[in-house]
């Protein structure tokens, strides 16, 4: 298994109130799967992705990545894991506004000390893969919402991670553009074998997923599909 969550628990304090985001959640995701984590706001989707992505620490239970307990890693090792083996896509895009699409995608490679020529090649290839070969020099404010999300995906893909965690990446897009972005994620899953864990509350996206894990009040309420039910270039057609 690539991801394993064992009796996972996470709490947040809001003044004197304790909010239980995750309540003993168990979950496994195999390498190469495309998994949608569904549920209403407050069901624990973002908390789960943050823990799987080594962005936060659980209050109980265990998260394993490739069989390694994340709690055993040093902060430096966790940073390297995020930089080289995981990619992240967010609903707010998280692009640097003063940088071009090319520079936004190149930036994590620069941080990682990749030589300039290799950075250029890999950033251009990643942007071409998401259909933005002709928009390299455009800044985020010169791009549509769908194009900005494609830049975000190219940035997540540029270092060829084992898995990408996408937190509500279509929430700020219209239904047609959202469907196009999801189809692009599915194509990357098939062509590159990249594992995707995709959080959403959009029922039109959920019904098109090969595997859906539904969260209710911080627990897995339903798990439909599995590693064998991968997309074949495009997710099953649903509402657009």
CA atoms lying within 13 Å on the CB side of residue 158: 33
163: β partners: 86, 195
- List of residues 6+ apart from 115 with CB closer than 8 A: none
How far is CA 210 from its chain centroid? 16
For range 93-112, the mean pLDDT? 96
The predicted pLDDT at position 195 comes to 96
Residues 142-163: tens digit of each pLDDT: 999 999 999 999 999 999 999 9
Mean pLDDT of the chain: 91
CA gap 1, 5 in Å, rounded: 10
The C-alpha atoms of residue 216 and residue 41 are separated, in whole angstroms, by 10
Q: Other C-beta atoms within 10 Å of 141: how many?
A: 9
Nearest Cα neighbor of 210 from 240, 172, 183, 181 is 183
137 versus 231: the higher-pLDDT residue is 137
Q: Per the structure block, which two tokens stand in for 93?
A: 């895009």
pLDDT in tens, 74-88: 999 999 999 999 999
pLDDT score at 226? 67
Rounded-to-integer distance, Cα 141 and Cα 201, Å: 27
Banded model confidence at residue 223, pLDDT cuts 50, 70, 90: very high
Question: Is residue 240 very low, low, confident or very high in pLDDT (cuts 50, 70, 90)?
Answer: very low
Give Dmax over CA atoms of the chain in angstroms.
54
Contact 27/4 with Cβ under 8 angstroms? yes
Residues, the chain, total?
240
pTM for the whole thing?
0.91
Contact 151, 70 (CB under 8 A): no
The lowest-confidence range among 12-16, 84-88, 120-124, 150-154 is 12-16
What does the alpha-carbon distance between residue 104 and residue 95 come to, in Å, rounded to a whole number?
A: 6
Q: Is residue 236 over pLDDT 80?
A: no
Confidence grade of residue 172 (pLDDT, cut at 50, 70, 90): confident
Beta strands per DSSP E along 137-206: 163-167, 195-200
The C-alpha atoms of residue 105 and residue 211 are separated, in whole angstroms, by 29
The per-residue pLDDT for 43 is 94
Least Cα distance to 22 among 6, 11, 13 occurs for 11
Q: Which domains does the chain have, with CATH numbers?
A: 3-225 (3.40.50.300)
């Amino acid at each position: 298994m690539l991801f394993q969550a064992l009796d996972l628990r996470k709490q947040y304090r809001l003044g004197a109130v304790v909010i239980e985001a995750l309540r003993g959640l168990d979950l496994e995701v195999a390498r190469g799967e495309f998994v949608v984590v569904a549920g209403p706001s407050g069901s624990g989707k973002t908390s789960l992705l943050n823990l799987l992505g080594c962005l936060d620490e659980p209050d109980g239970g265990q998260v394993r990545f490739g069989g390694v307990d994340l709690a055993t890693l040093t902060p430096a090792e966790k940073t390297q894991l995020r930089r080289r083996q995981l990619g992240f896509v967010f609903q707010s895009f998280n692009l640097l506004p003063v940088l071009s699409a090319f520079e936004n995608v190149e930036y994590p490679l620069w941080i990682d000390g990749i030589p300039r020529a290799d950075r250029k090649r890999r950033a251009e290839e990643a942007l071409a893969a998401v259909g933005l070969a002709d928009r390299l020099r455009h800044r985020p404010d010169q791009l549509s919402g769908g194009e900005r999300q494609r830049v975000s995906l190219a940035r997540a893909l540029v270092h060829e991670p084992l898995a990408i965690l996408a937190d509500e990446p279509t929430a700020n897009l219209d239904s047609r553009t959202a469907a196009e972005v999801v189809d692009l994620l599915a194509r990357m899953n098939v062509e590159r074998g990249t594992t995707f864990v995709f959080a959403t509350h959009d029922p039109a996206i959920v019904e098109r997923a090969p595997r859906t894990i539904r969260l209710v009040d911080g627990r897995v309420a339903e798990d439909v599909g599995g590693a064998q039910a991968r997309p074949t270039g495009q997710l099953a057609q649903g509402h657009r």
